[in-house]
Amino acid sequence: MGTNTLKVLFDTDIGSDIDDAVALAYLLAQPRCNLLGITTVSGQPIERAKLASAVSKTAGRDIPIIPGNENRLDGPTRQPNVQQAQVLPNWDHDTEFSEQSATDFMAEVIRANPNEVVLLAVGPMTNVAELFSKHPDTPGLLKSLQLMCGRFANNQSDMPSAEWNAYCDPAAASVVYSATAPDHTSLGLDVTNQVVMDSDEIRAHFQHPLLKPVLEMSEVWFNERPQLKFHDPLAAVTLFDESICGYEEGTAKVTRSDNRDDGTMEWNPNAKGPHRVGVTVDADQFFKSYFSVFG
């Protein structure tokens, strides 16, 4: 790895929405990414780990993969199913994983690489919240915290107020947004909904060998939806090409309710705020940057 590489820990709920696998394929293909480990979160975390293994093995990589928390901090999982697991018989993958807890693994990696690790979390925040609570020194030892989480502007009326990752564990999201971490950055639905391809475009573009298992997983996704929105890949790609998005500083607070709005973000812009969120995105530049790593 060269001197301009980034050390990355990837925390993911791969297997539900297809965009996690799309992000993982990018990280594996990105020559500047030193992927130190993958942790899985939400319902059936071992099945999610198997999917991460299938994508990693297709890339010829042996990345540590640790299954993490299944349930949210204060109740049962709101995301029990791993729809893409049905493709597993078609791809080589590990079936047994370390019994070390995901959060202990994350803490171990972060402490071994102080101020060098980017924690990229693109699922419910359960693992990250447990990491910060159980190992309170770790937020300050990160290089940066990059999240696909939240909705920070009311610019799309057809969406729930609470973004899915925040809704799937609002208590955990509250812990994470209360933590003091360097470069605490979120890419929310405000920008991620603007990077989208339909199923025919995906089939045309996902022809690189590393994207073949992802394409098969995408077909499961397309059985119910006509489009793929690149939520998690945007959070991954902007680590290496930050100019894709414009940002705003401020303070994010997670609000609770008894309905689908549980986990709504209250956003207060403030130049000296502890959080940074994406507010604009150059979709063309994103797609050029994403596909560039696949040759």
- Predicted confidence at residue 32, as pLDDT, reads 98
Question: Which CATH code of 3.40.50.2000, 3.30.70.3270, 3.90.245.10, 3.10.129.10 fits the domain covering 6-292?
Answer: 3.90.245.10
The pTM of this model reads 0.97
- Predicted confidence at residue 161, as pLDDT, reads 85
pLDDT at 157 over 90: no
pLDDT tens for 70-120 read 999 999 999 999 999 999 999 999 999 999 999 999 999 999 999 999 999
pLDDT tens for 253-269 read 999 999 999 999 999 99
pLDDT tens for 183-231 read 999 999 999 999 999 999 999 999 999 999 999 999 999 999 999 999 9
Altogether, the residues listed in the chain come to a count of 295
pLDDT tens for 57-69 read 999 999 999 999 9
